[in-house]
Structures are given as C-alpha cells and as structure tokens.
A and B are shown apart, each in its own frame.
Chain A
Amino acid sequence: MGFCSKAPCNRALFTMLGITIFMNTSMEEVIAFKCCALPDQNLEIHLHNTGKEALSIKSRFVLDDGPKPLTITAVYPPTGIKLAPGQTAAIYTSMDERVWEQYRSIRFEEQGGIFHSFAINTNKG
C-alpha cells in the first residue's frame, strides 16, 4: 500500500498507483538483446493503475529513507508511462543492489506534481 501527496501541501491521499518490484529480473538479458544495447537493466518495476482515471507517470523515481534521497532518471522507456485504468506497464533501470538495500521507500511522480510513495525492502533490518 502506498500513499500520494501533492506539493506544496503534502496532503496524504490513497494512491491510485500500485507497484510490483523485480530485482535481478529475468528481463535483463532480453532488454540487452532486443532493445538496442541497453545492458544491465536489472531492476524491473511494474506500475499498476488501480484507479478509474488515467495516470501519466514520469520516467524517473526517487529512493527515500536512506542515506540521502537518490533520484534515478536513467529509466527505460524514457518517455513517461501513460496508464489507462486497470493497465499495467513496466519500467526498467540499472540498480546496484547494495545501494537499493539502503533505502526503505520509493517515490514516483505523476505529471502535475503528485507524488506516489511506496515502502520497499521492508523485510530488511
């Protein structure tokens, strides 16, 4: 379960975005093979639109609750993700597992400045 907020009021809302994370995904070699030499795309994240309105998510995310916020912009596909209600789409990026393990939440940004945050690595100490 995640929550969303809109700057500057930082008003907490139930998010209409859901995510599923695949670290060390089996997609990695497929993306490297088929997608014009995009190697090391070992992190796959599925974005699900669980709401009744379309979502437009930027091709970037921020890792929070770690040493310092870490913005990841080298995300494939780079043009943003448009999600119709009920639709799921994946993004891929290269992620050092040791860095990933240091963070406890991940934040996506919707066009219009709405942020969607989710807990990650909750099974780690």
Chain B
Amino acid sequence: MATGIRDKVAIIGMGCTRFGERWDVGGEELLVEAFEEAIADAGIEKKDIQAAWFGTCLEEINVGKSGLPLSTSLRLPNIPVTRTENYCATGTEAFRGAVYAVASGAYDICLAQGLEKLKDTGYGGLPNPGSNGGTLPWQWWPNLTAPGSFAQLASAYGAKYKRSDAQIKDAMSHISAKSHVNGAKNPKAHLRKVVSKDQIKASPIIAHPLGLFDCCGVSDGSACAIVTTPEIAKKLGKKDIISVKALQLALSSGSEMAFDDWDGDHFVTTSICSKRAYAEAGITNPREEISMMEVHDCFSITELVTYEDLHISPRGKAIDDILSGFYDADGGLPCQIDGGLKCFGHPIGASGLRMLYEMYLQLQGKAGERQLKDPKLGLTHNLGGFPFMNVCAISIVGKLDA
C-alpha cells in the first residue's frame, strides 16, 4: 500500500540566481551560480551527489537537450543525470525525480536543478515551439495564444459567478499590485518597483480583460535543491530540517477539451491535484493550515481561479478574499511573497524550484525583509499549458517535526 512522500525526504540545500534579462551570463553560468549557493548551503561536497535531475523546457539554443548541459556545466563526476520536461511544471518535475529517487532508497543525496535562458532568443513571450511542439498539440490548439486562452478563462469565470469585468479587473489589479509590493523586497527578483492599482488598471490591454500587468514576462534564471533523507540530514548536523510533505502531479485527460461538463471557468487538474496533496500531507483544512503559497501567476486570472481550485477560497468568492487582503503579505495566507512570476518572470524550467526556494527560506527564517512570522507549511503550484488542457504540479513543504 502506497504511503506517499510525507517526511521521507529533506531539503538540505537550495540555491537561486537573480532572475531577469541575464545578458551578462550564459546558461552554464546560471547553473553554476545557483548550484554554488546550494552546495554551500548543504555543507556537502559535489562528490556526495549521487544523481541529478535537470529541468529545462523550451530553450534549446543556449541549453540544449539531454542531461549533459547540467553534468558538464557543474562538472558532475559521471553520475546519472536525467533531463525532465513537463511544460511549466518542469522545475517541480525535476524536484519530484530527485525526491522520489531518495525516497526509494536508490540514492542518499540527489540534486534537482532547473534552468531556462529565454531572453537571448529574442521573444517577448514564450517562444513558439514550432516543430518541437509535436503534431498532436498543434491539432489541439492551432493559432492559440496564451493570453487569449487565459482571457477566456476570465470571461467564463465572470459569466458563471456573475462578476463584472470591472470587479474582475479590480481583483486582478490587486493581485498584481500585491506581488509587486512583495517583489520590491526581493534582491533576486527582476522587477523591483512598487506599482499602484491605478497604474495596473490603466496599462495596455493584451487580451481583454488581461492587461500588461496581468501577464508575466519570460526570463532567464536557474534554481536548484539538494535532497536527502531526514536521517542523513540529521547526521550532517542539520537543524530545523525542512521536509517534503506532499508532491503531486495531475494532467488533463482531454475531458475538459471535450467540454463534457467543464464550462471553462476553472482548472480541473489543480482542483484534483490539491486534494491529493492535502491528503498526502495530512492537511484537512488548507485555508487554516497552509502558512504561505507560491502559485503559478502566469496570468492574474490564473492566480484568482487557483485560489478556488486549491480549495482555499470558496467557489466564486476568491475576489472577496483578494480584495480583503487575505493573500497579501500581512493577510491570512500570504501568496507570492517573493514577488511571483510577475516580478521574477518565468524561466520555465526554473520557476517551480524558485518557488520552493522561497518556501525554504521562509521556513528557515532566512527571507530577510520578506520574512513571515513563524510559517509552518508552504505550498507551491505550477500550471503548464492552457485552461482546457494542462499539467499541474503541487508541492507542500514544511518543518520536519511540524
């Protein structure tokens, strides 16, 4: 009988580069920058790492296929390195590989690292996958844009819950303003200036009702985690050990796209994935028990709807929670405390691990100016693809003895 991942694996070191338009370095340097922070944090030597998982999604100009970009950049000593790719959940997928490897007993210490170096490709948004996208997806979403698709989510949500464009825009502006307030305190974020709700509302529309600030940019960056068993972590002298409480993945079956009973207003995968994650972590009341979250705010409407799909806000009520400040840094359940995708941008392969990095810092009391008071459990959420077909990953981490 499967017993899940709860408390079977500890995170002993993490690293994260500054995100942004990193013209100053190549992908290799980004990998090294994040890794050097993590290995120093873990207090181990490179030879102690027995296997690695490398998450990179779209960018094959600066990075390329296989696990070789990681193994060669870090000069890893001929250990197994597996490349993972699962859309925007790629970073968390790499983490999942390393965590499961340790939990299985196959290895003692593993590395998960994500990287994307997108800005050199010249794209303002995500690069077109072209021939690398596969023939099947192109049949499913010909000529589709990400902002256009997520704008439809906003329309469907408004229609279902009788929320006006103005109400949705007001809530989305609050979401983005909140993230920029948080990101202004983060030296590793790309965009570090506070932006007012009025400025956000007045900014150009990308795909109605999504404006410039409702859409995250892409970016360059890398983040990584070194994991082991709690027992080994203790032997290494680690105190206040951070452990993995849940690690779940849910992918669309294709049923939403068939519009069987899905009306386009939420993410089926996130709703299912979060329930599994809470069960795995032993959480019965996520609104009360989760201390902080990093959710996939690729678009502000994604964040809004995700609050409900995570079963934190009641259906149709996320706007009320948002406007009441519940998800603000000083609210009941702070979200995007590091600034989120809005301030970091989205180097796809790295984003999931970047979110975990913030949870790790917060749980250890090392988040500096952004530090929350005594957080116990942190949740991260990635969503790759489109509302009608996507990959959802959720992880929950916390203090080992909590």
Contacts and interface: CB of A to CB of B under 8 A. Distances in A.
A77 B199 contact: no
Nearest to A45: B202
| Interface secondary structure of B, over-half rule | loop
Given A44-B199, A89-B202, A90-B202, A34 B193 contact: no
Contact of A88 (B21, B198, B215): B198
Contact of A33 (B195, B201, B204, B345): B345
Nearest to B202: A90
Contacts of A27: 195, 199, 203
A29 B195 contact: no
Nearest to A20: B198
A25 B194 CA distance: 10
A22 B217 contact: no
B191 A33 contact: yes
Given A27-B203, A77-B204, A90-B202, A35 B212 contact: yes
B212 A34 contact: yes
A41 to B, nearest CB: 11
B127 to A, nearest CB: 13
A92 B338 CA distance: 28
Interface in B209-223: 212-213, 215, 217
Categorize the interface residue count of chain A: 20 to 34
B193 A26 contact: yes
Interface in A18-55: 20, 22, 25-27, 29-31, 33-37, 44, 46
Interface residues of B, number: 19
Contacts of B217: 33-34
B105 interface: no
Contacts of B21: 33
Contacts of A36: 124
Contact of B213 (A20, A30, A89): A30
B191 A30 contact: yes
B190 interface: yes
B245 to A, nearest CB: 35
A33 B190 contact: yes
Nearest to B119: A33
Nearest to B196: A26
Nearest to B212: A34
Contact of B202 (A26, A29, A37, A88): A88
Given A33-B190, A35-B212, A88 B124 contact: no
Given A30-B213, A33-B217, A22 B124 contact: no
Contacts of B124: 34-37
B201 A88 contact: yes
B215 A34 contact: yes
B194 A26 contact: yes
A22 B198 CA distance: 12
A58 to B, nearest CB: 16
Interface in A73-104: 76-77, 88-90
A26 B199 contact: yes
A45 B289 CA distance: 44
A29 B212 CA distance: 12
Contacts of B198: 20, 46, 88
A123 to B, nearest CB: 21
A30 B191 CA distance: 7
Given A30-B213, A36-B124, A90 B191 contact: no
B221 to A, nearest CB: 13
A20 B201 CA distance: 13
Contact of B204 (A26, A46, A88, A90): A90
19 contacts: A22-B199, A25-B199, A26-B194, A26-B199, A27-B195, A27-B203, A29-B193, A30-B191, A30-B195, A33-B21, A34-B215, A34-B217, A35-B124, A44-B199, A46-B202, A89-B202, A90-B199, A90-B202, A90-B204
Given A31-B212, A33-B345, 5 more contacts: A20-B198, A25-B199, A33-B21, A88-B202, A90-B202
The 6 closest A-B pairs by CB, nearest first: A26-B193, A90-B202, A36-B124, A34-B217, A88-B202, A46-B202
